Amino acid sequence: VPTGPQKYYLASSDGVITDMRSPVSDGFNSPGFQSGSIFTETTISSGGAHICAILDDSDLQCWGDNTFGQLGDGTTADRQVLTSVGLDSARTAVSISSGQDHTCAVLDNGEIQCWGRNNFGQLGDGTNSHSNSPVEASIGGVPVQLS
């Protein structure tokens, strides 16, 4: 899985993602996630130093650097454990895409929500204000794919 500098993740063919925490030397001496933190993902996207994944139970979770709110949890605290994104409880993400310091998701109702750094308007909400919680992107159409 491509990630930011000094981040190493292993994705197996059965969907299990493992955080290697340090460069892999012999494949056996890296500590990986804490016990119970290995999960099965269905979709994963990485930014500069954060990662978001839609899990097999449809929960959208992110972890890593959160300087600009790119984890979408309503804070700017960095997280080394999976943290739920603050989507409306009635909605689920069906697709995600991450930029350097932001992430966007297509929701099950076709809406696009984005969060994180917004210095160039990358959240699509008509502002240049960063957001640590999901905001609706106004695209004036129906999304087909995020990239």
Give the pLDDT means over successive 10-residue stretches in the chain (147 positions): 49 54 38 45 86 90 95 95 91 94 94 96 96 91 63
In a domain, 19, yes or no: no
In a domain, 74, yes or no: yes
In a domain, 147, yes or no: no
Total count of domains within the chain:
1
Question: Measured on CA atoms in the order 35, 99, 70, 84, is the torsion positive or negative?
Answer: negative
Question: What pLDDT, on a 0 to 100 scale, did the predictor assign at position 144?
Answer: 60
pTM, 2 dp: 0.75
CB atoms within 10 A of CB 98: 22
In a domain, 7, yes or no: no
- The residue among 87, 82, 88, 50 whose CA lies nearest residue 69 is 50
In a domain, 6, yes or no: no
Distance CA 12, CA 18 (A): 8
- Provide the domain limits for residue 49: 43-136
DSSP alpha helix (H) spans, the chain: none
In a domain, 15, yes or no: no
